[in-house]
């Protein structure tokens, strides 16, 4: 029974959250045409016994997507942060349409 | 007061001023307040209490706690009937109705005890050997009889009138177990400043101290300890409460029984489950005594030595006057001494060559006969023990007796820590498993970590209580606990060796597993304890092998010539003791099983003859009773009315999402497979979303309300998933996009007016609005206000007819619904339900949930053209995977039934006409409807592309109803293929 310290709402029971999978995989840019990159992103997981960065959404709270670092061996949570605070990546933004 | 003939006249912890009446198998009996059912039965001389699981052997009361394998009973009548309760944990209360189990026609004369004669055939692996392979079919025949013969009690089928609750609670420190270690830990933790929850399964605190005489120093210590705890406001005492599971993050699952001696006339909660969240835990769960294994050791009258002592000292019951105590350790001698002091004739058979001199001296003083290096090899008697055969240095001898007390040492109760993955480790000096390494906020104390002597347990609990409080930051100074030294001497490390070749020597009493079964498992290669457990069913009873686990693995270790640690132990899992499903469900039953979502027009539907259908959590109109006799009649009539006049449908359940921000158009362009960036303001577009793996996710329409603001609808089923997915993409993938998404599903009531008369109805309902085709073309939007609420009219069609979706502020939903019906009264406007809605879309070849099933791609659904040559949207790259392009991939086709008087069915499997209908076939029917326009059944199907040419024939097989029907592959658009009616 996890308790996740939501950076917006405080400590909450995991019933309030939705699991979103591995946060350590790198999502290719939206227009990346490389099938290999997408294949790795969608299917390849390391499944570690130990610290694991994963996405959780506080669905019945602030609805923010969070990155939770959870130890898969004992469910101890070492860190929680907003997913939006992830290291800035190269902008994928195109010019606004005419 | 009836009998109580085995009851002593003084002492113990029963309240003699409060007699209690109960019935056992219809017999009226009496006991006292403070009794358990087991102690009251023993006091009345009832020794035969149940029949065993497999062999129907007579069984009595074996223990005095939750480890009881034998004395399982059914309590209560009608809806309150609860089976398989250990008599040893049931607090006696007035009017209790108790039945024995697994016997027919009566407990004393049981027909199926002949199973005992069949024992050689019912040994370990019996089912596997008998009913696998060629004889497997025999199982079908015998299963009924075997299930009837083997078993436990039967639950009632009536509705349980009692309440159950589930709640959450919090504290700093939980102490599990109210024995000397737990009491001492609770005092220390509370004194240090922590908020403490003390959990005790019994209705009295004290644990093993309750087995001490009620006028002893132990009793005085216990009284003082209880008084001290009551002085702390910060201690929550939870008696009658079992910690059934311990879970990650310091959460304990607790189940509390109500006080049965204090019934509340106005109803009460029978059991309460508490999920207790604490910052640290002290496990002071004690230990469970181990039985000795010899032939017929399961007969009534055989009891754990500590249990016999409990019955004597706590309940003033002397179950036997001539007793044999068989042991390998010092502890059981205390039982011998107490029984001798109470006037019983006692023999001690100690397996050790030279029992400690101090014990022998005390035995001499009390007149206890001591037989060293002696064991019991056999026991005689049917419903009660009559004598035992002893084997010692002077050879075999016989001893008459009416009670046999056995003890082969103790096993620490490591179940709860095992739930958390703390591996038990074997300790030589106590010959038992204790928990391995605890996590930082968890502590063990007392017997459960091997500190068996009371004096040590108290010190140990004190230490653990202080540490547990300190780990929550509470460390006020704590005075030393008062001492209690009962002078227990060390536990022996001598263990009884496996009695090879002995018949009917039981290891697991509840599952009827004998040493013979363990030998057989070993012979056949099931040597690992996990295999042993599954092959023999050892430890798989309701007692989870609390008394059998260690003897069994010791026996296997001996057979393998291995040590106990090499042999290992099985993993304990929750629940520690059985928990009623009703208690776990709490109030979430019946109407409260799950929440119900109602649309703003729900009351109107209910008042106007709608049959409702559960769609997820939603209640939706299935059909309206005025449309036809049953659903089949009604939906066809409702369809006809939509195609010929007009229908009104409640579509409030659609997911609705407000998408806004400077980059909203770019965002939608990426999440939909078809383009949205160029959608003009005031126009709507059908859109389809893929998952990252290229499979279709959901569809819906999105309307551009303004340059930077869109109104998205999703399917009813995927509303929550779509919103969450959009938020995921914005938060994690494209945080640079300036877009906000918000669910507005509940803000809007939504209804669809469909059919050739729909525009006229709209005109009548909204006389101030221009709803002409010029002002509101197909896929157009009209925004306005109605009765002070927002109004959006979208000209969209799901049925293929001219149609309008009307959105209005939710609180005005029912009012607008009625207004539309009134406006459409002369234009034959009638409401229709989801069955007709689904039928209309099938006729039109629109895909929905049955086709968008998480396995289909755009191409499979014939929608590949929607994406065209676009790229850069979610799922684009992986949808191009070669395997998804295979020519025999199943794709969407239309089917029409070509046999008169027959029908298609959803789920039917498709085969070629000349094929033997076997296996998965070439595809399956996903959606069907009767088509009034075509005059026969039509359907949508997913059919292998290489056999899906239009005009070819297939056979639809529905094995559930043994139906086979021929069908022709056609275009999935059955009605108006040119789409002219949209404008009609």
Ranking B566-575, B605-614, B834-843 by mean pLDDT, the lowest is B566-575
Q: Which residues contact B295 (CB under 8 A, 6 or more apart)?
A: B377, B378, B379, B499, B502, B503, B504, B505
Tell whether B368 and B347 lie within a shared domain.
yes
| Class of residue B334 by CB neighbours under 10 A (exposed 0-12, middle 13-18, buried 19+) | buried
- Residues B409-428 pLDDT 10s: 999 999 999 999 899 999 98
B67-75 average pLDDT score = 95
Which residue numbers of A have CB closer than 8 Å to B's CBs?
1-3, 18, 20, 23, 27-28, 30-35, 38-39, 41-43, 55, 57, 59, 63-65, 74-75, 82-84, 86, 91-94, 96-97
Name which residue leads in pLDDT, B760 or B868.
Answer: B760
**CB pair distance less than 8 Å for B871 and A2:** no
For residue B118, tell me if it sits in a domain. no
Distance from A77 to chain B by nearest Cα, in Å? 9
pLDDT higher than threshold 60 for residue B2: no
Is residue B249, in this structure, part of any structural domain at all? Answer: yes
Q: Residues of B numbered 708-767 whose beta carbons fall under 8 angstroms of chain A's beta carbons: which are they? A: 720, 724, 727-728, 731-737
What CATH number has the domain bearing residue B202?
3.50.50.60
What tokens were used for B106?
A: 């009566």
| B677/A contact by beta carbon, under 8 A | yes
Quick one: CA dihedral B4, B5, B7, B9, positive or negative? positive
- If asked whether residues B71 and B172 sit together in one domain, one would say no
Overall number of domains in chain B:
6
Q: Is residue B776 part of a domain?
A: no
Reported as a single tens digit per residue, the pLDDT across A70-84 is 999 888 999 999 999
Considering Cα of A45, then A47, then A48, then A52, what sign does the dihedral take? positive
B224 in a domain, yes or no?
yes
Which of B66, B84, B107 terminates a domain? The answer is B107
At residue B137, the pLDDT reads 66
Whether residue B666 lies within 8 A of chain A, CB to CB, comes out as yes
The token pair at B636 is: 């066809």
pLDDT of residue A97: 44
* B439 touching A (Cβ < 8 Å): yes
The pLDDT tens digits for B210-229 are 999 999 999 999 999 999 99
Inter-chain CB proximity A92 and B874 less than 8 Å: no
With bands split at pLDDT 50, 70 and 90, how would you rate the model's confidence at B1?
Answer: very low
Confidence category of residue A89, pLDDT binned at 50, 70, 90: very low
B877–A84 C-beta distance less than 8 A: no
| Minimal-distance CA residue of chain B relative to A35 | B877
Per-residue pLDDT tens for B30-48? 999 999 999 999 999 999 9
B208 and B235 in a single domain? The answer is: yes
Q: Does B248 touch chain A (CB under 8 A)?
A: yes
- 3-state SS class at B571: coil
pLDDT range class, residue A98, cuts 50, 70, 90: very low
Task: Looking at the complex, report in whole angstroms how far the Cα of residue B82 sits from the nearest Cα belonging to chain A.
Answer: 29
Query: Are residues B269 and B319 both part of a single domain?
Result: no
Query: Residue B499 has what pLDDT?
Result: 61
Rounded Cα distance, B412 and B288, in Å: 6
Asked if the model's pLDDT at residue B117 lies above 70, the reply is no
CB contact under 8 A, B677 and A65: no
Nearest CA in chain A to B881: A35
Q: Is residue B949 part of a domain?
A: yes
Q: Which tens digits make up the pLDDT trace of B669-717?
A: 999 999 999 999 999 999 999 999 999 999 999 999 999 999 999 999 9
Tell me which chain A residues have a C-beta less than 8 angstroms from the C-beta of B736. 91-93
Strand order in B96-99's β-sheet?
B27-33, B15-24, B96-99, B72-75, B82-86
B504-531 per-position pLDDT tens digit? 999 999 999 999 999 999 999 998 888 9
**B68 plus B34 within the same structural domain:** yes
Residue B389, Cα to own-chain centre: how many angstroms?
46
Q: Enumerate domains of chain A plus CATH numbers.
A: 3-85 (3.30.2270.10)
Task: Determine contact: B249 vs chain A, CB below 8 A.
Answer: yes
Within an 8 Å CB–CB cutoff, is residue B692 touching chain A?
A: yes
In a domain, B213, yes or no: yes
β-pairing verdict for B322-327 and B403-407:
parallel
Please identify, among B107, B126, B152, the residue that sits at the C-terminal boundary of a domain: B107
Domain of residue B738, CATH code: 3.30.70.1400
Residue B157: band (very low, low, confident or very high) from pLDDT cuts 50, 70, 90: confident
| Interchain proximity B877–A34, CB inside 8 Å | yes
Residue B403 and residue B449 in one domain? no
- B700 and B724 within one domain: yes
Residue B825 contacts A, CB cutoff 8 Å: no
Apex B439 CA angle, B435 and B443, nearest 5: 60
Of B670, B727, B735, the CB nearest to A63: B727
Question: Which residue of A84, A92, A95 is the best one to mutate when testing the B interface, meaning the one whose CB has the most B CBs within 10 A?
Answer: A92
% of chain A surpassing 90 pLDDT: 79
Residue B21, burial from CB neighbour count under 10 angstroms (0-12, 13-18, 19+): middle
Q: A27 to chain B, minimum CA–CA distance in Å?
A: 7
Cβ contacts from A onto B, under 8 A: 84
Measured CA to CA, the distance from residue B112 to residue B320 in angstroms comes to 29
Q: Are residues B344 and B276 in the same domain?
A: no
Q: What is the pTM of this model?
A: 0.87
In a domain, B283, yes or no: yes
Least confident of A56-60, B381-385, B828-832: B381-385
The helices-and-strands tally (H runs, E runs) of chain B is 23, 47
Contact A74 B881 (CB under 8 A): no
Q: Which CATH number goes with the domain that contains B38? A: 3.10.20.440
Least CB–CB distance from B878: residue in A3, A27, A42: A42
Same domain for B95 and B201, yes or no, is no
Residues B169 and B199 in one domain: yes
CB contacts, 8 Å: B737 with chain A: 93
Residues in A touching B728 (Cβ below 8 Å): 20, 55, 57, 65
pLDDT of res. A96: 43
Residue B81 lies in a domain: yes
Sequence-ordered alpha helix ranges (H) in B428-573:
454-471, 515-523, 529-536, 549-560, 564-567
Q: Which of B81, B107, B133 is the last residue of a domain?
A: B107
pLDDT tens per residue across span B945-960: 999 999 999 999 999 9
Region B880-899: mean pLDDT is 95
In the predicted structure, residue B135 carries a pLDDT above the cut 90 = no
Q: For residues B314 and B399, state if they share a domain.
A: yes
Rg (Cα) of chain B, in Å, rounded? 37
Q: Does B501 touch chain A (CB under 8 A)?
A: no
State how far residue A10 is from chain B, nearest Cα, in angstroms: 16
What percentage of chain B carries pLDDT values higher than 90?
83
The answer to whether residue B863 scores a pLDDT higher than 70 is: yes
> Taking 80 as the threshold, does the pLDDT of residue B532 lie above it?
yes
Instruction: Identify the domain containing residue B681 by its residue range.
Output: 655-743
B877 vs A3, A23, A33: nearest CB: A33
Cβ contacts of B869 on chain A, cutoff 8 Å: none
Q: What is the predicted pLDDT for the residue at B179?
A: 97
Asked if the model's pLDDT at residue B145 lies above 80, the reply is no
Query: Which B residues in the span 270-289 are in contact with A, Cβ-Cβ below 8 Å?
Result: 275, 277
Taking an 8 Å cut-off on Cβ atoms, the answer to whether B663 and A91 are in contact is: no
What's the mean pLDDT in B292-298? 94
A98, A26 Cβ separation under 8 angstroms: no
CB contact under 8 A, A64 and B731: yes
Per-residue pLDDT reduced to its tens digit, B77-87: 888 899 999 99
Phi and psi based region of residue B442 (left: phi greater than 0; alpha: psi -120 to 50; beta: remaining): beta
| Residues B388 and B439 placed together within one structural domain of the fold | no
């Amino acid at each position: 029974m996890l308790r996740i310290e939501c950076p917006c709402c405080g400590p909450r029971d995991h019933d309030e959250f939705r699991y979103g999978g591995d946060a350590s995989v790198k999502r290719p840019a939206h227009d990346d045409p490389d099938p290999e990159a997408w294949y790795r992103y969608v299917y390849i997981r390391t499944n570690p016994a130990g610290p694991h960065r994963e996405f959780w959404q506080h669905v019945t709270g602030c609805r923010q997507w969070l990155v939770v670092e959870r130890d898969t061996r004992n469910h101890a949570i070492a860190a929680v942060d907003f997913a939006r605070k992830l290291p800035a990546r190269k902008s994928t933004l195109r010019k606004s349409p005419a | 007061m009836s009998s109580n003939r085995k009851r002593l006249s003084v002492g113990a912890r029963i309240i003699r001023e409060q007699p209690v009446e109960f019935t056992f198998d219809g017999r009226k009996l009496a006991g006292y307040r403070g009794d358990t059912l087991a102690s009251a039965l023993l006091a009345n001389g009832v020794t035969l209490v149940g029949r065993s699981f497999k062999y129907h052997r007579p069984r009595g009361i074996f223990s005095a706690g939750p480890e009881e394998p034998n004395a399982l009973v059914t309590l209560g009548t009608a809806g309150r009937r609860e089976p398989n309760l250990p008599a040893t944990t049931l607090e006696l209360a007035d009017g209790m109705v108790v039945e024995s189990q697994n016997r027919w026609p009566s407990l004393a004369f049981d027909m199926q005890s002949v199973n005992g004669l069949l024992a050689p055939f019912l040994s370990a692996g019996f089912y596997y050997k008998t009913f696998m392979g060629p004889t497997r079919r025999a199982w079908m025949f015998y299963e009924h009889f075997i299930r009837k013969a083997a078993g436990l009690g039967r639950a009632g089928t009536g509705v349980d009138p009692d309440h159950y609750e589930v709640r959450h609670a919090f504290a700093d420190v939980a102490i599990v177990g109210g024995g000397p270690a737990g009491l001492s830990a609770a005092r220390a933790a509370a004194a240090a400043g922590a908020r403490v929850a003390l959990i005790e399964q019994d209705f009295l605190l004290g644990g093993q101290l309750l087995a001490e005489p009620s006028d002893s120093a132990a009793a005085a210590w216990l009284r003082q300890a209880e008084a001290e705890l009551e002085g702390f406001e910060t201690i929550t005492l939870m008696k009658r409460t079992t910690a059934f599971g311990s879970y990650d993050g310091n959460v304990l699952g607790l189940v509390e029984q109500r006080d049965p001696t204090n019934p509340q006339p106005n109803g009460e909660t029978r059991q309460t489950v508490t999920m207790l969240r604490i910052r640290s835990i002290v496990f002071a769960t004690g230990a469970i005594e181990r039985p000795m294994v010899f032939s017929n050791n399961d007969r009534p009258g055989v009891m754990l030595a500590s249990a016999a002592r409990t019955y004597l000292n706590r309940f003033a019951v002397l179950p036997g006057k001539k007793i044999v105590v068989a042991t390998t350790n010092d502890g059981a001698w205390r039982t011998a001494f107490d029984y001798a002091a109470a006037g019983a004739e006692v023999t001690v058979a100690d397996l050790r060559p030279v029992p400690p001199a101090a014990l022998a001296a005390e035995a001499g003083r009390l007149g206890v006969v001591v037989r060293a290096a002696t064991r019991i090899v056999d026991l005689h008697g049917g419903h009660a023990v009559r004598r035992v055969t002893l084997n010692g240095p002077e050879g075999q001898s016989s001893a008459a007796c009416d009670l046999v007390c056995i003890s082969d040492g103790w096993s620490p109760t490591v179940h709860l820590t095992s739930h958390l993955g703390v591996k038990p480790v074997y300790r030589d000096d106590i010959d038992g498993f204790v928990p391995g390494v605890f996590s930082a906020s968890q502590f063990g104390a007392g017997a459960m970590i091997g500190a068996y002597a009371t004096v040590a347990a108290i010190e140990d609990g004190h230490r653990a209580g202080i540490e547990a409080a300190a780990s929550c930051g509470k460390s006020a100074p704590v005075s030393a606990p008062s001492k209690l030294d009962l002078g227990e001497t060390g536990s022996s490390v001598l263990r009884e060796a496996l009695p090879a070749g002995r018949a009917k020597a039981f290891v697991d009493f509840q599952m009827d597993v004998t040493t013979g079964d363990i030998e057989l498992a070993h012979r056949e290669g099931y040597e690992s304890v996990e295999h042993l457990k599954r092959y023999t069913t050892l430890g798989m009873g309701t007692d989870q092998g609390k008394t059998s686990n260690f003897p069994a693995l010791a026996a296997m270790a001996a057979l393998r010539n291995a040590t106990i640690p090499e042999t290992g132990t099985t993993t304990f899992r929750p629940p520690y003791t059985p928990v009623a499903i009703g208690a776990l469900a709490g109030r979430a039953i019946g109407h409260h099983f799950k929440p119900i979502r109602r649309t703003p027009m729900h009351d109107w539907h209910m008042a106007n003859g709608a049959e409702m259908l559960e769609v997820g959590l939603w209640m939706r109109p299935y059909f309206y009773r005025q449309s036809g006799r049953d659903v089949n009649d009604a939906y066809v009539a409702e369809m006809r009315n939509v195609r010929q006049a007009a229908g009104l449908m409640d579509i409030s359940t659609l997911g609705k999402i407000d998408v806004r921000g400077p980059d909203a158009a770019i965002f939608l362009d990426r999440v939909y497979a078809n383009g949205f960036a160029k959608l003009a303001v005031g126009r709507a577009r059908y859109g389809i979303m893929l998952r990252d793996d290229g499979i279709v996710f959901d569809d819906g329409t999105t309307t551009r309300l303004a340059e930077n603001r869109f109104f998205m609808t999703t399917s009813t089923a995927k509303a929550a998933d779509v919103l969450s997915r959009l938020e995921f993409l914005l938060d994690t993938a494209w945080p640079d996009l300036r877009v906000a998404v918000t669910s507005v599903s509940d803000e809007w009531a939504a209804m669809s007016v469909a059919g050739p008369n729909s525009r006229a109805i709209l005109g009548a309902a909204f006389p101030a609005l221009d709803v002409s085709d010029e002002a509101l073309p197909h896929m157009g939007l009209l925004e306005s206000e109605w009765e002070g609420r927002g109004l959006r009219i979208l000209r969209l069609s799901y049925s293929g007819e001219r149609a309008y979706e009307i959105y209005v502020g939710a609180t005005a939903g029912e009012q607008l619904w009625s207004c539309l019906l009134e406006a459409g009264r002369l234009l034959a406007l009638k409401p229709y339900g989801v069955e007709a809605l689904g039928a209309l879309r099938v006729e039109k070849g629109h895909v929905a949930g049955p086709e968008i099933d998480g396995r289909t791609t755009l191409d499979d659904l014939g929608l590949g053209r929607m994406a065209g040559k676009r790229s850069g949207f979610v799922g684009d790259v992986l949808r191009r995977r070669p395997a998804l392009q295979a020519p025999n991939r199943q794709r969407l086709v239309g089917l029409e039934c070509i046999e008169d008087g027959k029908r298609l069915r959803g789920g039917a499997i498709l085969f070629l006409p000349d094929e033997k209908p076997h296996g998965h076939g070439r595809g399956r029917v996903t959606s069907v409807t009767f088509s009034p326009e075509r005059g026969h059944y039509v359907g949508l199907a997913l059919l292998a592309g290489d056999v899906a040419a239009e005009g070819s024939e297939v056979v639809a097989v529905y094995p559930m109803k043994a139906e086979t029907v021929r069908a022709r592959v056609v275009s999935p658009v059955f009605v108006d293929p040119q789409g002219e009616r949209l404008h009609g």
